[in-house]
Amino acid sequence: MRRFETGQTVVRRDVHSPGRVWSEHALRVVADTGEALVAACPPGAETRWPALYLKARDEGDRAVRTEAFDAMASGVWELAAAVWQETELLLWKPPEAWFSVNAFYTADGLRNWYVNFERPTARTGCPIPGDA
Set out the domains of the chain in order of their start, with CATH numbers.
Answer: 1-45+84-124 (2.40.380.10), 46-78 (no CATH)
b/e per residue 48-72 (b: at least 16 CB within 10 A): bbbbbbbbbeeeeeeebbeebeebb
Give the chain's residues under pLDDT 50: 128-132
Residue-level pLDDT at 18: 72
The rounded distance, in Å, linking the Cα atoms of 12 and 8 is 13
Greatest extent of the chain over all pairs of C-alpha atoms, in Å: 44
> What does pTM read for this prediction?
0.82
